[in-house]
A and B are shown apart, each in its own frame.
Chain A
């Protein structure tokens, strides 16, 4: 990499956080820190601190959210930053956008950095769309003159022409997001930092947003740093990627390599069901899952029967009729393929009052193409969320025979296999 092309350079960036409640004990630590400083000694709490691993319970109150991060970004590059929840991606972006300072290390830049950590920051419900465009634009670093020269484009891009002089509190959430993204899309800094903004809005708008991001990076040669869990967005937009793991850079390289590395790492870690991150009141919980095909545990096979069954811990003897289980099957890029739910198939009247122990979804003939699939589970008890796990587990579907002929449907032509017949005349 030639030195003169580098627009941004991070050197040994680290960031330490204190865990638990800030409050009790804070003053004693502050005093101790100050006492060390007075005597010219190093901060005693910088030495302690453990690496950033969300699931293990550490000994220290201090934790390194980021440790020794080094990377360089070339002008015009779109750098994707991927990693698990809590790996330190957002902390990194926060430091880049000057929201918080690093504990050690420094970042050098040759251009102005503007960040888009969440759209619509600073929107005020009582003000009209137009007024909010000005305010939000100014917060993001534009001058009034710049905004005025672009306001028509911004409004047109947002598609909210009709409501632009209505207070934003009357907007639907989708409209707010459209307007907010439109403002951000017309920012013109040398370096743009984006975090997960594409996860909002309807499909049509997402497409528009991705298109706009591509224009920004390709057409205008703007440098973009992009954090997302949406692998297809990363794949579409980025020219290079970084994988962050437990506060350190695990690997840097081409987008495809990094995505594969990330996904294989995700797969390995999903085996332990207990430690998954979940939402809900936990009245009933999924304790384990089995995927099963003929002669094959764990894997499915195209065209053969397949079942996914869940063991459910149920200490309060909840009945079958009070429970709802939804599962969604996504591919590795986060595209949603299928949604299976006890709510769409009526349950057996005989077992209605049984105590729930297992729930199993049975497919007669597996009609998804070979590949790895990710399952999100959503368990509801008496209308309340009980156990909701994003990307709870994954399974692999092996190649098999779906149609009678031996010919295969090309994998890149379609992911779902349908039963159909052909009539000639």
Chain B
């Protein structure tokens, strides 16, 4: 055919070939407004027609912390360290756990929830889970403010928080938050891709996230777990979320000591899971509409 020399004119080609990672950053950048609008949609529609509205952002972690403090610290007497109020300890754990788990559950049904729109229009699919991670980041920001207010209260108006001091490592906090997001996003994308064909995983996500919380050192320090249940402690210790939550508490409250190894470990696991998620998500997005 004589069309050989014209071939370079084609803008792009739609073909069944699947590259391992087919992320078109230029395209995602072109759709950045969509990302922004999705985030806006999530934020403004979530609490429409509720009386308390965004106050729910505050209420949920607050009440959970109160209950945790009552049950785990007052009743079960789990120690949270000298001079560190149990309530603050729990609030720190819950705030960081919430961000991870809302990213995970939010992205884990991306394909199922959006099949209507994915079946009609093309846009880079990865925009959708990204938007969930970003809108959760805003909620996380609000919850972090709650945490800070309580921190100020405990430090300046009570004398129970004598040892709760932010550490210099807090400068690494933004990176830690990035790890949380990547971890939740990565796992969520893996699950969402698998559930397009096999719905079994949706059941797992429901109670799995709940169970994982108990295995992520949210309401106890890892050191205490090691002391009490040494034979199972590796299970909790290898959980990257444990590491992240422990680091979060170390940075903000000075609980435990900072181990740079752990920081690297959490980062590497998060990035690996994120990349795996991305590959599977990419593979799925081309054909999921036929199997969902």
Contact = CB atoms under 8 A, between A and B. Distances in A.
Given A3-B6, A115-B120, A115-B122, A99 B289 contact: yes
Contacts of B122: 97-99, 115
A102 B117 contact: no
* Interface range for B: 35 or more
Given A3-B3, A22-B197, A138-B33, A109 B12 contact: yes
B121 interface: yes
B41 A135 contact: yes
Interface stretch (B13-21, B149-157, B169-177, B231-239): B13-21
A117 B14 contact: no
A105 interface: yes
Nearest to B123: A139
Contacts of B199: 23
Interface string A96-127: 11111111111111111001011001101011
B285 to A, nearest CB: 9
Contact of B9 (A110, A112, A143): A110
A318 to B, nearest CB: 38
B287 interface: yes
B197 A26 contact: yes
Contact of B14 (A98, A134, A141, A143): A98
B16 A103 contact: yes
A407 interface: no
B186 to A, nearest CB: 22
Contact of B37 (A111, A126, A135): A135
B14 A101 contact: yes
Given A109-B11, A126-B48, A135-B41, A99 B119 contact: yes
A144 B36 contact: yes
Contacts of B6: 3-4
Interface in B1-51: 2-3, 6, 9-16, 30-31, 33-34, 36-38, 40-41, 44-45, 48-49
A17 B204 CA distance: 29
Contact of B121 (A95, A100, A140): A140
B14 A110 contact: no
Nearest to A97: B122
Interface of B: 2-3, 6, 9-16, 30-31, 33-34, 36-38, 40-41, 44-45, 48-49, 116-123, 197-199, 286-287, 289-291
